[in-house]
Amino acid sequence: MIRDLSQVEAPGLEVRTPLCIIGAGTAGIFLACQLRALGVDVLLLETGDRFARSANEMAQTCAQRGIRYRGAEQGRSFGLGGTSVLWGGQMIPLTAADMQARPAVGIDAWPIDHAELTNHLAHVKQRLGLRAGDDAGESALSARRYPGLSAFDPDFALRLSEWLPFGMRNFAQAFADPLRQDSGLVVWLNAGVVRLQCDAAEMGRILAVEARSANGRMLNVRPDLVVICAGALESTRLLLAFDESTSGRLTANGAPLGRYFADHLSVTCGRFACRDWTRYNHAVAPVFSGGVMRTPRLEIAPAAQDRLALTSAFVHFTFVTHGDTGFDVIRSFLRQRQGERQRLGLSPRRLGRVVQDVGAMAYWRVVHRQLWIPRPADLLLQVDIEQVPNWNSRLSLADDLDRLGRKRLVIDWQITPEDIRVIRTVAQRTVQAWDGSRLRNLARLEMTMPLRFDDFETQYDVYHPTGSLRMGSQPANSVTDANLRVWGLENCYVSSTAVFPSAGSANPGLMHLALTARLAEHLASRIR
């Protein structure tokens, strides 16, 4: 059931609920639906309205220090569905090695074991329309569809990511029925949280969550439990503001609140000169299996990480068109359906080319069960790495206020020389391996490593923020415990990629939802 705080006549309301979720984006909606399946009533607060809007449109801009973090503007969306309106929905789990201690690069182990999330991963995939699969099936598919990449080099391990069907990518659309019809799930739109209230005599509990609309309507929620699911940046901002208002309730014991802020770095490090376009397409392009698109990536194997002192990293094979192909039109159309604002860019002058390209795409999809790479396109080697932990890369509060009277966020994102060393090493090792493999007969790989990494345009974040609310074993080294409960608060939890103590090299979406499904079971056990 959806309500709009800005449309309420009374200037102030007070409601009670067993569980209040802050943020109706990917994690918030998924958690709410999981809890409803477990019989828990939920109240969901969302800053935006029914239609997702950018951070700039919502006047939710951040102050930037150091290297500009583009994810703050381009990687966030406010409104029902949140960032799921923007994301590609690429899913791949972290490996067991990603969650273990890696002393060579100063990374601590996660406080939970990879095996503990296995059942939750299977449940999430089933809920999102993906096959659960197993290691044997994955290996067989990889060897059959990508024989060259499977035998590439011992320092690399081939893995295939999955892409959510377009109908499941926007969670406001995918979970529309329970959001609109379930009386046990109440969603308040235009309800930005302005305060987490503690009793002076009972500082270990959140007694009330205060929300406000842009036109001044107030909602006071009295919950038994609170879960912050507002995205990595906003979730961190909320807890920074709470810590400031309670004279360091969270940081008094040394919790690294806002510290270790990180993202995956992605750099174009090579360009392919094709000798045989069709065979290259077969060798590296995404394939379709069971109606789902699968994309190959070559991850640096754990043994190579240890030997070369590398964080987790992978390379993948991308292509860039220039807005004038049928591929561009189809991609824009599908993004429109997902809820993103896109122009098709279709003109009579381009119609013949578009029809020809769409025909080729359809042929490759039906006959080869593979994505067709349009010609001409720039064929690129992309290197993605996990950042080295850095205490000085941080989020903090500014002095100026947003339109709801809340302090804005300050982002001081940093890239270290060690990050750059990892990028260079992975790129160089990839070129060496390519030249020593049979794939060199399909295309020549020329390394195009940027000369200057201080130039912002040579590298970019991929909107996978982590670390600023890291989970851990004790308050001195983390912000939440293994159950995602905030240290020092008996009834407050966080579900966000910000709790990841390390990022690995996987897109965080699938692992985040597995953690969220695990959290739902824990919360339900507390309420029963």
The two three-digit tokens of residue 102, written as one number: 């890696």
Helix axes 26-37, 509-527, angle to 10 degrees: 40
How would you class 323 by CB atoms within 10 Å of its CB: exposed for 0-12, middle for 13-18, buried for 19 or more?
exposed
Measured CA to CA, the distance from residue 338 to residue 165 in angstroms comes to: 10
Q: What's residue 321's pLDDT?
A: 84
For residue 138, the model assigns a pLDDT of 87
Instruction: Answer yes or no: are the C-beta atoms of 408 and 238 closer than 8 Å.
Output: no
| CA neighbor of 221 nearest in space, from 246, 188, 248 | 188
Counting as low any pLDDT under 50, the low residues of the chain are: 338, 456, 458
Interhelix angle 118-127/509-527, rounded to 10 degrees, is: 100
pLDDT tens digits for 405-442?
Answer: 999 999 999 999 999 999 999 999 999 999 999 999 99
Class of domain 1-56+77-129+167-264+465-528: alpha beta
CA angle centred on 388, ends 387 and 390, rounded to 5°:
110
Residue closest to 416 by CA, chosen among 392, 450, 448, 449: 392
**Rounded Cα distance, 14 and 26, in Å:** 26
- Distinct helix (H) and strand (E) counts, the chain: 15, 22
Under 8 Å between Cβ of 81 and 172: yes
Burial class (CB in 10 A: 0-12, 13-18, 19+), 465: buried
Whole-model pTM: value is 0.93
The answer to whether the CB of 486 falls within 8 A of the CB of 501 is: no
SS (H, E, C) 85-135: HCCCCEECCCCCHHHCCEHHHCECCCCCCHHHHHHHHHHHHHHCCCCCCCH
- Which pLDDT does position 87 carry in this prediction? 86
Under 8 Å CB-to-CB from 283, ≥6 apart: which residues? 146, 148, 149, 439, 442
pLDDT of residue 456: 43
Instruction: For 219-255, write each residue's pLDDT tens digit.
Output: 999 999 999 999 999 999 999 999 999 999 999 989 9
